[in-house]
Chains A and B, each alone.
Chain A
Amino acid sequence: MTDFLPLLQAAADTTGAYGRFPLIGARAAVWVAAEVHLMFAAFVLGVPMFAVITELIGIMGKDAKYDRLSKEFTRLLVFAYSATALWGAMLVFLLTTLYPKFWGHMAQIFGLSMWIYVGIFFAESFTLYLYYYGWDRWKAGRAKWTHWGLGLLLNVWGTIVMFIANGWLTYMMSPPANVTPETLPSEVQLWNALANATWMPINIHRLIANAVFGGSIVAAYAAYRFLAAKTADERAHYDWMGYVGNFIAISTFIVLPFAGYWLGREIYAYNQSMGITMMGGFMSWLWIIQAVLIGVLFLAANYYLWIGMQRIPGAERYTPYTKWMLLVLVICWIVWATPHTMIATREEQALMGGQYHPLLDVLGVMSAKNTAVNVMILTTFLSFLLYRRANQHPVVAWARSGTAIQGAMFALAAAVVLFFGVRGYFVEDIVRIGFSVYQVLAVLACIIGVTVIDIAMLRGAQSRGEIRWGHMPARSQYALFVLAVTFTWLMGLMGFARSGIRQHWHVWEVMRDTSPYAATPALGYAANMISACVLIFLSLVAFIFWLGGLAEHAMAKHGPAEG
């Protein structure tokens, strides 16, 4: 009997397991549906986070400007929500028709969680409608707090929905060790499958990434409205909104690499060969593209801040520093984007004079790259700090020593980062990997310490003059578009990395992909797919922005009752 088992399994693997999709094929169809759905989902999960934060700031500070901003964010959500649901439904239909065997496996394991998901999605939708349409009804006193509570609840539902969906996709990456090809799906315990090795790192990584993404899209929306503004008031409002969106995007983006380290570490701990495939195998060049993108993000974000300082009285005293910060960022970018591990033929190795290129061998290693990225984070944080302090004059008695301590914290963090960067060249791999933790901790400690001192030091500070909101050159707004496009593309790229490391497995080492699309494509093909997804998403977002403008125009003309 055992002699027939392989044949039986082979037959079971292919018969009726896959459907066909015209022109682009099944994989591309699912790829587009999944990616565009994910982009909208990230937007509708990210935006509520800072909608409730800005609403809270408005309530606490009794500042209607923040309340208006929060409502404007939420209006975009109402439109984006439908698109998210549509693309989600499309994804499910494509999976059931094109990958029925795989989907049957998933549904058997996760059926209960899928029903819960739908229930919570309903609750989330109705909470969103209550939150948005109740805005003007519950706008004062205790009712306002109830309204804010709805916003909070919206975030809770959204987070639970995301966690459930993350359980499904992380199960595909890192199924529990006791699930094997022979295990029947009905024997897999739901919680065991959901709470797998990479579930929580992905949850945290996506939670932060959604805030980054939402912030960047809102900033792009504000940039569009700024460029289209007809009055100075409108320009000032959208300039400020763009700043807030960008601030949220970049400040949360700064902590994203730390969540990424954790996820990477868990992948290695789960399965070394999967980690190696990701970092040193056929995907090693993906990280060079990632470095190019993140370099653009850092440069564009800093550029926007530096231009923004032109509208802040007192900021001119910091202008001489910007060229040095630019120099540091560019050098670090070059180092970070230097390739190292390349799969080379014997002939190529002979031409290089060894396994590694002599120059790339020095700059392309993790010691140099970790140092570069940490210095970039520190530099960007410094830009933010200068921007924040530009029009303020601290009045506390300890202002001078406070600033000196902040400077020392920066110097110490940079020294720690550089020390471990250099030391990394002289120790074993296993020791060097541990050094990145010290570098990250030094930068985090600096960011937290300097911020705490800054908040205390600038309490009651004298103003050097009001920020001239709206007085921004048009080119600054294009930096916000570059940021939004780059964040979106980066999300697509990282999605490919996460999904691609499974290689020819639907479920890693449990369910093999035996379709004609089992091979994991090269980065050129993946880039085409990512670009197509980004274009589809941004086109739809542009349509939503346009709808948002129409709704606002109608309300301004006829009053909210008809809006």
Chain B
Amino acid sequence: MWRTNVAILAVTVGVIGFYTAVAHLIPQLQSEVPAAVSLGSGASTEELVAAGEQVFNQVCTACHGLGTRAPNLLTDHAGQGPIGQRCAAALGERCKDYLHRSLLSPGDSLLSGFQNIMPVMTTQLDGDQIWAVVAFLQSQGGEVTVSGSDLEAAGGGEGAAGTAPGAAVSAPAGGTTDPRQLLTQNACLGCHPIDGAGPPIGPSFDGMGRRLTAERIRRAILFPSADTAQGFAQFAGMMPQTFGTQLSAAQLEAIVQFLAGRR
């Protein structure tokens, strides 16, 4: 019987060893935690680009490096060159804001032929990481215009990177309290229609004052997941949770009063 036992043991260990060997023969890819970025306002362009490349490789390549699910950003797309080149050619100075908005509100910048599958990146990355990725994308054939001041505005250097998702996202450029400008800068119009136009991913801003009180609107901006508007259940969870830290009190009130007044 001992021979049988040895044979059974040999078969068992042999089979396990075979599978283990196969697993070691294939490429070894580890899924890293997105690299923390804490460069601060004095960060150089090279530092920003290097940090962005690291984050991009860890978070973005699964889709943007393979070219079938999402536009390939590092190589040519539709004969227009890599992302930095084509973005700069099409948008010039506005390229930086476009790329930034694409990460905060991806559905807003959807290219034809691709589905709206990209998550809002504030759920994965903090403000500094997002700006670093923007710098890296600009460096792909274009001029990098992201600077340390962008990070500073995003709450950079506070050491929150990689630990507090969504806690330190960028503040809108400038301290404007113009509600329309704020709605544009914060990519609200990427989901909420206004003046009868725009994608109906979130409830329309038209007539919002008739439907909701100022208090409800304020709560909906600060805690978007607390309530879901009727008919928008399929988009629940899409709205960033970060406006409480992103907007100043004056900016928040400007938006609330503007929307409450739209009857």
Contacts and interface: CB of A to CB of B under 8 A. Distances in A.
Nearest to A481: B11
A538 interface: yes
B33 A482 contact: no
B27 A285 contact: yes
Contacts of B123: 509
Contacts of A429: 68-69
B166 interface: yes
Interface in B3-32: 4, 7-8, 11-13, 15-17, 19-20, 22-24, 26-32
Contacts of A519: 30-33
Contact of A6 (B20, B75, B155): B155
A481 to B, nearest CB: 5
B208 interface: no
B62 interface: yes
Given A276-B69, A531-B16, A534-B16, A7 B4 contact: no
Interface stretch (B40-48, B94-102, B156-164, B180-188): B156-164
A252 interface: no
A518 B12 CA distance: 32
B225 A177 contact: yes
B18 to A, nearest CB: 8
Contact of B159 (A7, A485, A518, A535): A7
B164 A6 contact: yes
A10 B160 contact: yes
A310 interface: no
Given A178-B225, A181-B165, A527-B20, A10 B159 contact: yes
A476 interface: no
Interface string A505-522: 000010011100011111
A14 B29 contact: no
- With a 10 A CB-CB cut-off, give which of A430, A504, A525 has the most chain B CB atoms: A504
A3 interface: yes
A91 to B, nearest CB: 23
Interface in B147-173: 155, 158-160, 163-168
A355 B66 contact: yes
Contact of A521 (B12, B15, B30): B30
B237 interface: yes
Interface in A1-56: 2-3, 5-7, 9-10, 13-14
Contacts of B158: 3, 6-7
Contact of A478 (B11, B27, B226): B11
B156 to A, nearest CB: 11
Interface string A315-346: 00000000000000000000000010111001
Given A292-B19, A486-B15, A518-B33, A7 B236 contact: no
A524 B23 contact: yes
Contact of B119 (A271, A520, A522, A525): A271
A9 B20 CA distance: 40
A316 to B, nearest CB: 29
Contact of A512 (B15, B67, B165): B165
A281 B62 contact: yes
B62 A177 contact: no
A430 B117 CA distance: 13
B115 interface: yes
B182 to A, nearest CB: 17
A280 B160 contact: no
Contact of A177 (B7, B19, B236): B236
B245 A485 contact: no
Given A5-B167, A177-B236, A528-B20, A282 B30 contact: yes
A535 B123 CA distance: 39
A342 B27 contact: yes
B124 to A, nearest CB: 7
B61 interface: yes
Nearest to A522: B28
Contacts of A107: none
A178 B159 CA distance: 27
Interface in A269-299: 271-273, 276-277, 280-283, 285, 288-289, 292-293, 296
B199 interface: no
Interface string A51-90: 0000000000000000000000000000000000000000
A217 to B, nearest CB: 13
B31 A289 contact: no
B160 A2 contact: no
Contact of B31 (A180, A282, A527): A282
Nearest to B227: A178
Contacts of A520: 30-31
Contact of B155 (A3, A296, A481): A3
Contacts of B159: 6-7, 10
A501 to B, nearest CB: 9
A5 B158 CA distance: 10
Contacts of B8: 224, 227, 478, 481
B118 interface: yes
Interface string A105-137: 000000000000000000000000000000000
A526 interface: yes
Contacts of A5: 164, 167, 245
30 contacts: A6-B155, A6-B160, A6-B163, A7-B160, A10-B164, A13-B164, A178-B226, A178-B236, A178-B237, A183-B225, A227-B4, A273-B62, A285-B26, A289-B23, A343-B29, A481-B8, A481-B12, A485-B15, A486-B15, A489-B16, A489-B19, A503-B31, A509-B124, A519-B33, A521-B30, A523-B23, A523-B26, A523-B28, A531-B17, A534-B16
Given A181-B241, A481-B8, 13 more contacts: A6-B160, A177-B225, A282-B29, A285-B26, A343-B29, A343-B61, A346-B74, A474-B4, A481-B12, A504-B33, A509-B123, A530-B20, A531-B17
Instruction: Report the 5 A-B pairs with minimum CB-CB distance, sorted nearest first.
Output: A527-B23, A6-B160, A177-B237, A281-B62, A272-B117
Interface of B: 1, 4, 7-8, 11-13, 15-17, 19-20, 22-24, 26-34, 61-63, 65-69, 74-75, 115, 117-119, 123-124, 126, 155, 158-160, 163-168, 223, 225-226, 228, 236-237, 241, 244-245
